[in-house]
Structure formats: C-alpha cells, structure tokens
Amino acid sequence: MENRAPRNYTVGRLRTWHIVLAWCDRCKRRGELDVTGYAKDLELRRLERRLRCRGCGRVGCYVLIEKAPR
Ligand SMILES: [Zn+2]
C-alpha cells in the first residue's frame, strides 16, 4: 500500500497539505483521522493497532498519508 505511513514517520513531520486517513482492510472504509493534540514524536504506525473502524468495528486499521489536492 503505497500511501501507508512510512516507518518512524511521526506526527511532527506532517505538513499542512497532508491528510491522514485510517483505512480498514476488512470493509475498505476510509476516514480522515484528526491527529491534532497527539504528541509530535508519536509514530503514526503506532496508532494502527488501536484504531477501531467506525464501519465494521474491526480494531486495527492502516494509517495512510495523502496530499491534499491543490
Ligand atoms: Zn471496517
């Protein structure tokens, strides 16, 4: 998955044009993830295990980083 947050990529490295998404592998639901308030040194991949899908309830989603269209 090419958009998955790279290893060691932290909240502090996100730029204003980045959109963080949570993606569920089971129901394919994508939802924007608001990381406001998370520690700057938190690695995005560490969130993956804790994310619960709002569609099917599965725990564990992929974290994707996309660039906002200009
Ligand atoms: Zn789901």
Q: Write out the residues surrounding ion ligand 1, Cβ under 5 A.
A: 24, 26-27, 29, 53, 55-56, 58
**CB of 7 closer than 8 Å to CB of 46:** no
Q: What pLDDT, on a 0 to 100 scale, did the predictor assign at position 26?
A: 97
pTM above 0.85, yes or no: yes
Tell me the pLDDT of the chain (70 aa) as tens digits.
Answer: 779 999 999 999 999 999 999 999 999 999 999 999 999 999 999 999 999 999 999 999 999 999 988 7
CA of 25 relative to ligand 1 center, distance in Å: 7
CA of 22 relative to ligand 1 center, distance in Å: 10
Domains of the chain, residue spans? 11-67
> Alpha-carbon distance 47 to 56, whole Å?
18
Q: What pLDDT, on a 0 to 100 scale, did the predictor assign at position 24?
A: 97
